[in-house]
Amino acid sequence: MKRFKDWFEAFDALRDFLDTLSKERIVVFLDEIPWMDTPKSNFLAAFGQFWNDWASTKQNLKLFVCGSATTWMLSKFIGDKGGIYGRVCRPVWLAPFSLCETEKFLKEIKGIEMTRHQILQAYMVFGGIPYYLDMLVKDIPLNVNIDDLFFKQGAPLRAEFDFLFRSLFKNSRLYKSVVEVLSSKLKGMTRLELMEAMRLPDGGDLSEVLDNLVKCDFIRKYTAIGKTERDALYQLTDLFSLFHMKFVEDNSGQDEHLWSKLTGKGPMTAWSGYAFEQVCLHHTSQIKQALSIGGIISNIHSWSCRPFTDKNGTSWKGGQIDLLIDRADEVISICEIKYVSDKFVIDAEYEKRLASRATLFRQVTKTKKALHHTFITTYGVSKNLHSGIVQSEVTMEDLFK
């Protein structure tokens, strides 16, 4: 096979070959092009010449390019200011699977039968990434699968976190450091707090890193009700990264059955609660549909308040709400997210706490909207004397729709 001296010669050869084809439609697919653009390779210049001088004139030619390095695709290719500026007809963003799509993939493609609770548990570990889900082995319990993939000697996903960042980002150390710091404060941090925690100078590097991590679905940026854009919080939401930082990063590899032994223990319980919150944030459209507000304009927020004393001398304890749905129908849904193994039970003390928090929220935000307590749980809320405070419910089943 002939060895081409540069990309210009390679694209010339591709053009000559395609000219020999007499077909109604020709499809060219270039995969992982970020890795073709090596230093001093002039790949983009050669590609631009190929497209502008020849390929763009061929009505029967469809050219698809793909790259897993999202930042390169956005900044170097889609954001190119040179020969391919404005040439992209339609970008396609491949999002992770939803719970519904994960269920179909495991059952119809992998032939794996799981309950929806088991699928939810798998989703909390792997997210909706088909590459990871495809590693699950049929007829092996989920806990054993997780042990084999993360904790067994030579486990294929043990070093995946580091490899993932090296493959996606050029300055992978800085990106990884941001994720590590955010994993230590799960409710999120402002840009200023991140700078102080990482001891970084004020500049554009961190802003670019945060923007790219948001675009790559590792973190989310959100503004709490009553806060400005300057107070925006960045929160780690990538489920695979959350699992790695919690259980794999500092694991010595001594116990190949770690996950099976942690079942039902404190560390797994604490992680499960937070991971379920992130699953819900990944499925806000399903939550809105379950509440029959899919057609109503609404915004997703969080809210927190430190203890304070108002001008009348009244002391308030402070509070936090992880998910608020601020709706255009003059309602705010205050969402409680609970991951439990059975129906969630509200007792008198918890009912009082919910009512007090709603009063605090109204006092601080001055909202005139109706406040609806919405519970998002695995199996619903148990009906008793104190469950009347709940206006609406969303269950695990609703997240699969």
Tens place of pLDDT per residue across the chain (401 aa)? 678 899 999 999 999 999 998 888 999 999 989 888 888 899 999 999 999 999 999 999 999 998 877 778 877 888 878 888 888 888 888 889 999 999 999 999 999 999 999 999 999 999 999 999 999 999 999 999 999 999 998 899 999 999 888 888 877 899 999 999 999 888 889 999 999 999 888 766 888 899 889 988 899 998 877 777 778 889 999 999 999 999 998 876 678 898 999 888 888 888 999 999 999 999 999 999 999 999 999 999 888 888 888 888 888 888 889 899 999 999 999 999 999 999 999 999 999 999 999 999 999 999 999 999 999 999 999 999 999 999 999 999 999 99
User: b/e per residue, 306-331, with b = 16+ CB within 10 A?
Assistant: eeeeeeeeeebeebebbbbbbbeeeb
Identify any residues that bridge with 319 across adjacent strands, giving them in sequence order. Answer: 305
pLDDT value at residue 204:
67
pLDDT value at residue 119:
97
| CATH class of this structure's domain 283-399 | alpha beta
Rg of the chain taking only CA atoms, in angstroms: 25
pLDDT value at residue 89:
85
Q: What phi, psi does 131 have (nearest 5°)?
A: -60, -40
CA separation for the pair 74, 34 (Å, rounded): 11
pLDDT value at residue 359:
94
CA separation for the pair 93, 95 (Å, rounded): 6
pLDDT value at residue 1:
66
Domain ranges (residues) in the chain: 7-78, 96-223+235-272, 283-399
At 354, list the tokens.
Answer: 């919910």
pLDDT value at residue 308:
86
Residue 381, C-beta contacts closer than 8 angstroms, at least 6 positions apart: 343, 344, 345, 346, 375, 387, 390, 393
Q: What phi, psi does 233 have (nearest 5°)?
A: -105, 145
For Cα atoms 314, 315, 317, give the angle at the middle one, nearest 5 degrees.
145
